[in-house]
Amino acid sequence: MNHELERLEAMLRARPAFHSNEQRRAAYDAQAELFPLATDVRVDPMDAHGIPAEWTSTPTANAHEAILYLHGGGYAWGSLKSHRHLASELGRAAAMRTLAIDYRRAPEYPFPQALEDAASGYRFLLEAGFHPGRIAVASDSAGAGLAVALLVRLKALGVPQPACALLFSPWADMTASADSYTRNAARDPVLNRETMQFLAAQYLGTLPRETPLASPVFADLAAIAPLVIFVGTTEALLDDAIALARAAGLADVGVRLEIWPGMFHIWPSYHQVLAQGRQAIDRAGRLLREAMEAGEAAP
């Protein structure tokens, strides 16, 4: 293990325990202060069909291409602020503008409100004139599960699919039954089974944990957009990512699964201090560019 990875994992393990959603939300936003935006990032707050949102862009961004970014945080935590550094740098790597939305969070707004907001954000881009072949959905953790649920929902509504969905460390199975929770219990410095069970209860309440639009490994994934999945070998959610890739592949969906040795949950978020984080951002950006270039129907 390299020194920067050791230091980062030690920092994550040393974080204090939080006893409320309010404390955790504040901690997410406070951590963002450690990762200032590059000076050439432009941030434009806006309203997307009543949902607080913001555009981020860099000078090389193509004005005709957009990333819809759905942040992680277990459907309860995370915000525009907490994920701005990740969303904006992914946009830079892909030479695209990024629209991040502040979807409603549990427990105040349980399932399916976050999904409704994600669908509204996507429709906003279509109505703004973006061709679906020039839109990518990008996401991390719970946001990645939400992204796949969005694709399934768009299919049901007859709305055109985006070019692809990029998923960092997806949470795709709210049963929290995967073996990697146990196998990586001592290796994952971010997540554990108990936390994910708590978050699932906040989001779903009494609904079954296998609800397909909350746990998309159980959804009918046929005819959704291609998936690009990044996951680390030390993650509690490793098996979620593998199961999602398998389910999508069996449904004849294009899938690229990248398993990064020694990496923990959403390591690309630490791209400013972790070389592998920067490498993952750059790799993801190249894959998004490939998806855009394949959207030949777009102007």
pLDDT 10s digits, 252-277: 999 999 999 999 999 999 999 999 99
Mean pLDDT, the chain, integer:
96
At a CB cut-off of 8 Å and minimum separation 6, what does 41 contact?
Answer: 56, 57, 58, 88, 92
Whether residue 136 is predicted with pLDDT greater than 70 in this model: the reply is yes
CA angle at 290 for the pair 79 and 234, rounded to the nearest 5° = 55
State how far the Cα of 232 lies from the Cα of 234, in Å rounded to an integer: 6
Whether residue 298 is predicted with pLDDT greater than 80 in this model: the reply is no
Structure confidence at residue 18 (pLDDT): 81
Helix (H, G, I), strand (E, B) or coil at 255: strand
- Treating both helix axes as pointing N-terminal to C-terminal, what angle do 80-94 and 275-294 enclose, rounded to 10 degrees? 60
Structure confidence at residue 299 (pLDDT): 44
Q: Is 33 a catalytic residue?
A: no
Q: Which of 79, 265, 269, 271 is catalytic?
A: 265
Domain definitions of the chain by residue range? 3-294
Whole-prediction pTM:
0.96
Is residue 1 very low, low, confident or very high in pLDDT (cuts 50, 70, 90)?
A: low
Structure confidence at residue 16 (pLDDT): 82
* Main-chain dihedrals φ then ψ at residue 109, nearest 5 degrees: -130, 85
Alpha carbon of 14 to those of 137, 174, 276: distances in Å? 33, 26, 21
Q: Is 265 a catalytic residue?
A: yes
Alpha carbon of 175 to those of 31, 171, 199, 234, 256: distances in Å? 29, 10, 11, 19, 24
Structure confidence at residue 93 (pLDDT): 99
Least Cα distance to 68 among 134, 149, 114 occurs for: 134
Q: Is 235 a catalytic residue?
A: yes
Is residue 31 very low, low, confident or very high in pLDDT (cuts 50, 70, 90)?
A: confident
Least Cα distance to 152 among 217, 243, 66 occurs for: 217
pLDDT in tens, 162-190: 999 999 999 999 999 999 999 999 999 99
Q: Which of 82, 141, 180, 215 is catalytic?
A: 141
Q: Which of 9, 82, 235, 271 is catalytic?
A: 235
Whether residue 127 is predicted with pLDDT greater than 70 in this model: the reply is yes
Fold of 3-294: Rossmann fold (3.40.50)
